[in-house]
Amino acid sequence: MAATRPLLDYAERIHPAAYWELLMNLTRREVKGRYSQTLFGVAWAIAQPLATMAVFTLVFARLANLSENGVPYPVFVYSGLVPWFFFLNSVNSGTMSLIQYRNIVTKTYFPREIIPLSQVCSRLLDFGAAATLVAVLMAYYNVSVTRWVLLVPGLFVLLVAFTIAVTLLTSAVNVFYRDVSPVVQIGLQLWLYVTPIAYPFSRVPGQWKTWIALNPLSGIIEGFRSAIVYGRAPDWSLLGLSAMLTAVMLIGAVVLFKRLDKYFADVI
Amino acid sequence: MSSRPTVIRFESVTKRYRTGRSRTIVDLVASSVDRLRGRNQDNYSAARGRIGSTVFALRDVTFDVAAGTGLGIIGSNGAGKTTLLKLISRVTWPTSGKVRVAGRVVSLIELGAGFHPELTGRENVYLGAGLFGLTRREIDARFDEIVQFAEVERLIDTPMKRYSSGLYARLGFSVAINSDPDVVLVDEVLAVGDAAFRRRAIDSLRRLIAEGKTVLFISHDIWNVRRLCERTIWMDEGRVRAVGAASEIADRYMEEVNVRALANRNNALQSHRSGTGEIRYTSVQIVEGDGCPAGIVREGSPLVVRASYQAASRVARPIFQIAIIDVDTGLVVATASSHPADAPRSVEGAGEVECVFESVPLRPRQYLLRMTITDAHQLVSYDVVTGETRFAVGAAGGRSGQGSDDEDGIVSLKYRFDHRLRAMS
């Protein structure tokens, strides 16, 4: 007979390797489901920011020169749209993810956060594909890279952390109140305009600056732009505020998620 | 037996579910407003109806399961059987009380629930076993066994959307039992797949039990429960009705199910009948030797069928036929009062007829009667009533028949094995 295992009144922790592999497998399942039987596959991930870039360029570049540091507007706006769409798509599909996976949530136990996390992970592929086009555009418009590009990994961690925080929150609460999903969708549409994507943070009118700065995505997206297309130091205070808010939100989201996840199967 | 460690322990576990429509943000806002105004909390919600109502799935359930046990869980729908399994697998949590479990739990509440149709069989094995907490290396080591057991070698690299539902379930079962479980939860899933696979599935669960694993088995098929489990829990409306030896609990349970089924029908015969109607049965009763109506007949004891009839006109030489039918396998025996000594020359008006079976050597299960009245040549049926009267055979006290669950079939014959060793010359 096998060695006696202790009687526990909580779920047994799963091996970290098993946790990671399950996350990767669910991510693969997600990606495969999304792109199977499409002709262009991941290329669609580039089409989304590219199309928005074209619209923004046609509309805003005509109205006023909203770019900064002499960067051509298409490069300026596309470099902001890539992280934005990563966030938008992650939160959008993440919010519904626990409901979509109702089948396994109500039938087997595993750490529940893996489901929204796999949604975020699956969008990393799209993010990577869309990001390569930033390099192409920069080469085309002759925008050069400086040493500040070394900040990119840190900014990337911040972006992913913030995206995870929001996704955990919306996915968990959506299990209990289905109204969350439409609210999130409308909220995300407005969020695009209160984030310095079509315009630089420096052009925000003074009395609104504080509010825009309280949006953690502002610091992150401005940071990406400084590091990659402007080639200069980021606005440290803006970035610092983003990092702080992100950390607080992530901790809060994890705590709330773990508190709620015991009830998922009962109400889903 | 007492030396076997406990792997599952329920300590006065209660589980309550919310019923009615689910809460919306409007409800949340409204009840918060109510609370702020100091009103009775769910004023608003109460007005909109029924979100506050709850239903008990389990009430104060306490029991222990030792390692290496096959534990059957029986009970009618809504008795709390599935909730029990969901609590053990941590899919859901108790409202109060504690559920303690030792080791890895694998639940077969639905076979292949974690599979994705776009992924190949191979990818799904890793996904499915991953959901049970296995690492890639652990799955690598078991992969061939999983595939062999499910017999999907040929299709393992084909997307699972091309699989038949039986194959889907087979792979799901195979992944589960090969995931190195300490506790296996099986919820009525063996109904899928062909007979051969079902047999192998039962065998493999038996093997797990023999290896000291614990198997909890929900099934409405009492025979499978008896075949697989030494102990059984009988759940009734969220409470443990009885725990004990599987054969004993199964008999008691079947007895009650049958009594309930019998109580639901009255003896007035109306529906489900045919015949020309010159003479009709008006009531049919199963009575015991002492004349009392009975729903349960003990294995091997006498059975009396007492029927009243009413003839609309004078009928010459009617023949009464009584057949015992097993729901699953069909006709067990048909009797007829065709011997001149068994029936009157002619009948008119009301009368009564009794058929006495001196002993009923039938296996414990449910049977029904087909009551017929024909003319003397058994060519014209005056009345045919099928299934209106049912009875159950209960196991004889203590040992049933030869006392073995390995017996099968309809008839319970007295037998013994004589064994002689012959010296080799």
Lowest-confidence range among A129-133, B138-142, B265-269?
Answer: B265-269
Q: How far apart are CA B146 and CA B139, in angstroms?
A: 9
Give residue B399's pLDDT.
43
Do the chains contact at B135 and A18, CB–CB below 8 Å? yes
Residue A39, min C-alpha distance to chain B (Å): 16
Q: State the pLDDT confidence band at B140, using cuts at 50, 70 and 90.
A: very high
Closest to B105 in 3D by CA, of B85, B125, B126: B85
pTM value surpassing 0.95: no
The answer to whether residue A89 is domain-embedded is yes
Bridge partners of residue B73, in order along the sequence: B218, B233
* Whether residue B328 has pLDDT greater than 80: no
pLDDT tops 70 at residue A57? yes
Q: What is the overall mean pLDDT for chain A?
A: 91
Mean pLDDT of A112-121: 96
The tally of domains found in chain A comes to 1
Is the CATH code 3.40.50.300 the one for domain B6-258? yes
Q: What is the mean pLDDT of residues A24-48?
A: 83
Distance between CA atoms of A105 and A96, rounded to whole angstroms?
A: 13
User: In the structure, what pLDDT confidence band is assigned to residue A98 with cuts at 50, 70 and 90?
Assistant: very high
Confidence at A217, pLDDT banded by 50, 70, 90: very high
Say if residue B44's pLDDT is above 80. no
Average pLDDT over chain B reads 82
- The whole-number pLDDT of residue B339 equals 82
For residue A28, which residues of chain B lie inside 8 Å, CB to CB? 119, 123
Distance CA A169, CA A91 (A): 10
Q: Where are the beta strands (DSSP E) in B132-252?
A: 183-187, 214-218, 231-236, 239-245
The two tokens of residue B93 are 């949590």
Which CATH architecture does the domain made up of B273-394 adopt? Distorted Sandwich (2.70)
In a domain, A10, yes or no: no
| Shortest Cα–Cα distance, A258 to chain B (Å) | 13
Mean pLDDT of B276-296: 78
What is residue B278's predicted lDDT score, i.e. its pLDDT? 87
Alpha-carbon distance B2 to A204, whole Å? 76
B84-88, B220-224, B381-385: segment of lowest average pLDDT? B220-224
Give the model confidence (pLDDT) of A162-215 as tens digits: 999 999 999 999 999 888 999 999 999 999 999 999 999 998 998 999 999 999
Spatial contact of B363 and B392, defined as CB atoms under 8 Å apart = no
Weakest mean pLDDT among B31-35, B159-163, B318-322: B31-35
The ranges assigned to domains in chain B are 6-258, 273-394
The answer on pLDDT for B269 being more than 50 is no
Q: Do A104 and B98 touch (CB under 8 A)?
A: no
Neighboring chain A residues of B119 at a CB cutoff of 8 Å: 28-29, 32
Q: Which of B127, B140, B184, B185 to mutate to test the interface with A (most CBs of A within 10 A)?
A: B127
Q: Which residue, B322, B317, B321, is CA-closest to B343?
A: B317
Please judge whether B100 and A21 are an interchain contact, meaning their C-beta atoms are less than 8 angstroms apart: no
CA distances from B154 to A241, B30, B148, B163, B168 (A): 57, 59, 10, 11, 14
Separation CA A7–CA A10 (nearest Å): 9
Domain that holds residue A54: 16-267
Q: What are the beta bridge partners of residue B218?
A: B73, B187
Q: Is A177 inside any structural domain?
A: yes
B48-57, B87-96, B305-314: which has the minimum mean pLDDT? B48-57
How far apart are the C-alpha atoms of B31 and B36, rounded to whole Å? 9
Q: Given a cut of 70, is residue B113 above it in pLDDT?
A: yes
Q: A7 in contact with B at a CB cutoff of 8 Å?
A: yes
Residue A65 lies in a domain: yes
At A12 the pLDDT is: 80
Give counts: helices (H), strands (E), chain A. 11, 0
Q: Is a pLDDT exceeding 80 seen at residue B169?
A: yes
- Mean pLDDT score, B216-227: 82
Distance CA B73, CA B388 (A): 30
